[in-house]
Amino acid sequence: MIEWSELRVNASRLQRCLEELSVFGRPVGGTFADGITRVAFSEADLASRRYVIELMRAARLDTWIDAAGNIIGHRKGRDTASKPIVFGSHIDSVPCGGNFDGQLGCMASIELIRILNEHDIWTHHPLEVAVWSNEEDGMTGSRAVLGELSRKALDHTVNGVRVADGLRRIGGDPDRLNEACRARGSIESYLELHIEQGSVLESARVSIGVVDGIVSIDAYEVDIHGFQNHAGTTSMRERRNALLAAAKIIQAVETEVTRFPGPQVGTVGHLDVFPNARNVVPGWVKHSVELRELSEDTLHRMGEAIRLRVQEIATETRTEIAFSQIEHNAPALAAPDIQQHIEAAASGLGLQTMRLTSGAGHDAQMLSKLGPMGMIFVPSVDGISHSPKELSTWNDCSNGANVLLHTVLRLDRAR
Ligand SMILES: [Zn+2]
């Protein structure tokens, strides 16, 4: 029997599966490099799900679709009373997305099972591969598992399909979501391998990222009332230009967010300008401010600093500005001991690691409420993601899959 530490995933089989998966949603006449459009509940999503279910059954996983449309593959453990170690990701994509986001984690999870089968290794804990439904537009599947899928979320439309109808289409049942719900504490741990989608690892030339947490997000709405007037006859001195105030706020967000060193980010990404005409001084602007940072405390302080600046800008521009918080998403912290297990697994494989914070949302942030969570990142070439140009080298992909494999085995022994 092979020594546990010698176990490796089959890198060429992992690559082949990712390539096979990439045909679902590929533009007509395109190649792997053209990426995919595999929006949740679309025909491409359905076809890719059938492919994945086949792979999971071939890997002798007891496979089913839960009421939230998640594909779950269960492998029994030696200790039947113990909680499952769950790992997986998603296979839906954004429109014109790439071949690695979510998909690497799913294909590596199935590959891990195949390797254990081939070496007849049986873990103490049951293992579960999870392919979460509709990650990209609302994290439907992982949210439902927590019992946090609202009526409003079910009515939300994804590419023209109501989420509730979409769930029926993929084999779920929105009227029985409670059956997909899992109790807090019911899983041993959750692991997700994912591409970084940024350039931190590439710049540092490190092959494995150990995620310390997924950022907290605060969203604000800024409502600016100036005075709409003629762009030819209103002197500069007389103007109460709502768009000028918005421009100053955009600059203030930049200044306040970069005031201290750190990975925190702030974005003004959406503006409504009224009346939005070339020859009219804008009378009204509504725009977004979104701030992301792991520490809720730092996030709150950034928001308050911007609020102070907004008050000054209102005075400077003689406008009235309402600055209101409309959303707060708590951060999801990775469990410290799982981070250590990932580091030990990587080091056993001769791979360098660094800790980093995920600025993007992942199913893992939902699962962190069910049990201890850990995430493994691999480098994204040029930091590009949500694009057909999204790329991770096959070597980095198999490194990540090996770290996932060894982390699962370590967690199984440790707990
Ligand atoms: Zn993803």
**Residue 403: is its pLDDT beyond 80?**
yes
Amino acid at residue number 28 = V
Confidence at residue 2, expressed as pLDDT on a 0 to 100 scale: 80
CA of 182 to the centre of ligand 1 (A): 22
For residue 158, pLDDT over 70 is answered with yes
Q: What is the pLDDT of residues 354-380, one digit of tens each?
A: 999 999 999 999 999 999 999 999 999
- pLDDT for 3 beyond 90: no
Expressed in angstroms and rounded, the spacing between residue 291 Cα and the centre of ligand 1 is 20
Q: Cβ–Cβ contacts within 10 Å for residue 315, how many?
A: 9
222-266 pLDDT per residue, tens: 999 999 999 999 999 999 999 999 999 999 999 999 998 888 999
Give per-residue pLDDT as tens, 38-55. 999 999 999 999 999 999
What pLDDT score does 182 carry?
97
C-alpha 102 to ligand 1 mean position (Å): 4
pLDDT tens-digit series, residues 99-110 = 999 999 999 999
C-alpha neighbours within 13 Å on the C-beta side of residue 173 = 10
pLDDT above 70 (res 285): yes
Give the per-residue pLDDT at 391.
97
Q: How far apart are alpha carbons 133 and 149 in whole angstroms?
A: 12
User: Pairing between strand 373-378 and 189-195?
Assistant: parallel
What is the CA(132)–ligand 1 centre distance, in A? Answer: 10
Three-state DSSP at 355 gives strand
The residues whose Cβ lies within 5 A of ligand 1, an ion, are 101-102
pLDDT of residue 80: 84
pLDDT of residue 329: 85
Average pLDDT, integer, range 140-154: 94
pLDDT at 159: 86
- Judged against a pLDDT cut of 80, whether residue 415 lies above it is answered with no
pLDDT for 4 equals: 83
Structure tokens at 250: 């955009």
CA distances from 101 to 86, 89, 195, 366, 406 (A): 19, 9, 6, 17, 22
211-232: pLDDT as tens digits: 999 999 999 999 999 999 999 9
* Cα(57)–Cα(233) distance, integer angstroms: 73
Instruction: Round the average pLDDT of the chain to a whole number and report it.
Output: 96
Separation of CA 318 and ligand 1 centre (Å):
44
pLDDT (mean) for 333-341? 98
Average pLDDT of the segment spanning 151-159: 91
Q: Which residues contact 72 (CB under 8 A, 6 or more apart)?
A: 63, 64, 65, 66, 128, 129, 130, 131
361 CA to centre of ligand 1 in angstroms: 8
- Output the pLDDT for position 328: 86
User: Could you tell me the distance, in angstroms and rounded to a whole number, from the CA of residue 202 to the centre of ligand 1?
Assistant: 18
Burial pattern 278-313, b for ≥16 Cβ within 10 A else e, equals: eebbbbbbbbebbbbbbbeeebbebbebbbebbeeb
Interatomic CA distance for residues 362 and 132, integer angstroms: 10
- Cα of 360 from ligand 1 centre, angstroms: 8
Q: Kindly report the pTM of this predicted structure.
A: 0.91
Asked if residues 400 and 108 have their Cβ atoms less than 8 Å apart, the reply is: yes
User: What tokens does 367 get?
Assistant: 């699962």
